[in-house]
Amino acid sequence: MSLKLLRISCYLLLFLLISCKNNTDSKAAKKQIDPLEAALPHGDTLPVSNLNEADRTKLANAIGRTVDIISQEAMVADFKKKSDKLQVYAFWTLDCKTCVQQHKLLRKLQNEIGVEEMELTFVNLDPKNRISEVNASIRVQSISESAYLISNLIISDLDPQFKNIFSSKPPTLLFIQNNYHTFEYFNRLLEYEELFAMVQPLLL
């Protein structure tokens, strides 16, 4: 009788072990259901399951993104480059909470206008030793557009027309159109309707 009970107990224990393993495997499978979420860098957390296809594509392009280190001289030269597109530069820092909101509105504007008409560039003004935090920020924001961090920002060495841009508290925007013939500068948060109204005449 005791041998029979022992066998039954062993069968029950084996059944419980198999059930627990299946339950663990099922949970693990559910957790790895989204390859995009699994590809996010360590420490980045985003509700990717709620994203639409366009935003998922942007996030996929942004995974692993890093800012390009650029000198102050090269950045100013970039302002003066020849282009038929509207050039929009968004200056920001990690401590600027409204910058993220401005970035979303600018990217929405670019989607509406089209990349053929508008080129968007993000310029970070934080010290170079915060580059790892800057890289994490552009990944979390899913920024796939051009992104720079200025390595040697010395405001006193700048041309007068650029001093206010770099010395102002972000968010700061710089609009350049028609090969540098049109130059617009703002150092405050602009709402979407306001942005659209400002950009429209520059595209004509």
Q: Do 182 and 85 form a contact (C-beta atoms < 8 A)?
A: no
Q: Are strands 146-150 and 68-70 parallel, antiparallel or unpaired?
A: parallel
In this structure, the answer to whether residues 176 and 128 fall within a common structural domain is yes
Distance CA 67, CA 127 (A): 13
User: Measuring CA to CA, which residue among 156, 59, 61, 138 is closest to residue 93?
Assistant: 138
pLDDT, residue 178, reads 61
pLDDT tens, position by position, 48-57: 566 677 666 6
Domain count, the chain: 3
In this structure, the answer to whether residues 114 and 95 fall within a common structural domain is yes
In this structure, the answer to whether residues 80 and 159 fall within a common structural domain is yes
In this structure, the answer to whether residues 60 and 70 fall within a common structural domain is no
Task: For residue 19, give its domain range.
Answer: 2-33
pLDDT tens, position by position, 102-111: 998 999 999 8
In this structure, the answer to whether residues 27 and 109 fall within a common structural domain is no
Enter the pTM of the model: 0.67
Q: Are strands 86-92 and 146-150 parallel, antiparallel or unpaired?
A: unpaired
- 3-state class (DSSP) for residue 145: coil
In this structure, the answer to whether residues 140 and 95 fall within a common structural domain is yes
In this structure, the answer to whether residues 22 and 102 fall within a common structural domain is no
User: Measuring CA to CA, which residue among 93, 112, 118 is closest to residue 193?
Assistant: 112
* Cα 103 versus chain centre, distance: 8
In this structure, the answer to whether residues 175 and 146 fall within a common structural domain is yes
In this structure, the answer to whether residues 71 and 21 fall within a common structural domain is no
In this structure, the answer to whether residues 94 and 29 fall within a common structural domain is no
